[in-house]
């Protein structure tokens, strides 16, 4: 009996290894009550996997990475400085928006631009996000910057205050899994035309290595020593439906090779734990597939 069970387990394992990554992910998602957009790109085109890649899905806070790109562009042009002081009055802190800055400085603060950028990207701070958007000319300036990178499937219309004031507004800040992944590829892949200087890109990359949100998503099931540079996005829940549980970024394999990965879980009737686990399991499948 034990031999039979062992043979069954071995055959199941061999079957899983022989399945394509796309098939593994598709099989895993069959019983999930959610729309899931997936884009996986290994070493800039050596192998690609897509599930619902062109479906327009709400980005939520993932767009804060693109705000970071625009801020660094303005720094490079001399229009902003990472060391400049931004005064944040107490009235700005009087908000229901999620904000570690607000929690630490409820009576207002004077912070360096570099601090606000780190809070915004690594901690997904909404007060910091809207302050940065004001500095760089608003959401449409960020959209223009991304479209200049060759990305067309994206719309950045609202700041965090407006986006979170009405449930429907979040759907106007949308992108696709394919486009989100391509943004990271166009930004960080060595074969791509540089969008900023290496110094600026390294700075943003390291901020996202230290991302505090979404620890149970792309990073959730990976070995602890694996480097992941990523940005998350999360909506609230209305009538039992979560609009967005997102994560996109770069998994660095022990070999140094890179997996660019985006998973956007939308219109989900699953609970938060399951939504995050969907992302974690897909990331682990990709890791195991390319780490052979």
Measured in whole angstroms, the distance separating CA 220 from the mean position of its chain's CA atoms is 14
The answer to whether residue 61 is catalytic is yes
Catalytic residue among 99, 124, 143, 160: 160
The answer to whether residue 235 is catalytic is no
Catalytic residue among 61, 99, 200, 268: 61
Q: Which residues are catalytic?
A: 61, 160
């Amino acid at each position: 009996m034990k031999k039979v069970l062992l043979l069954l387990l071995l055959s199941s394992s061999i079957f899983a290894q022989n399945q394509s990554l796309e098939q593994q992910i598709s099989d895993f998602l069959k019983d999930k009550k959610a729309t899931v957009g997936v884009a996986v790109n290994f070493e800039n085109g050596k192998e690609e996997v897509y599930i619902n890649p062109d479906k327009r899905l709400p980005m939520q806070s993932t767009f804060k990475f693109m705000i970071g790109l625009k801020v660094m562009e303005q720094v490079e042009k001399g229009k902003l400085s990472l060391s400049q002081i931004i005064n944040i009055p107490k009235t700005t802190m009087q908000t229901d928006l999620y904000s570690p800055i607000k929690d630490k400085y409820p009576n207002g603060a004077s912070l360096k631009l570099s601090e606000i950028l780190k809070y915004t990207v690594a901690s997904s701070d909404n007060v910091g996000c809207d302050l940065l958007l004001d500095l760089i000319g608003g959401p449409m300036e960020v959209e223009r910057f991304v479209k200049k990178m060759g990305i067309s499937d994206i719309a950045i219309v609202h700041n965090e205050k407006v986006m979170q004031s009405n449930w429907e507004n979040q759907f106007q800040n949308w992108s696709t899994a394919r486009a989100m992944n391509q943004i990271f590829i166009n930004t960080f892949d060595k074969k791509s035309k540089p969008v900023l200087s290496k110094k600026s890109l390294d700075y943003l990359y390291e901020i996202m290595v230290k991302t505090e949100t979404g620890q149970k998503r792309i990073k959730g099931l990976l070995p602890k020593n694996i480097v992941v540079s990523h940005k998350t996005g999360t909506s609230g829940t209305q009538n039992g439906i979560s609009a967005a549980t997102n994560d996109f970024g770069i998994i660095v394999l022990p070999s140094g090779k890179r997996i660019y990965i985006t998973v956007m879980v939308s219109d989900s009737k699953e609970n938060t734990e399951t939504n995050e686990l969907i992302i974690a399991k897909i990331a682990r499948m990709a890791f195991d597939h390319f780490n052979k």
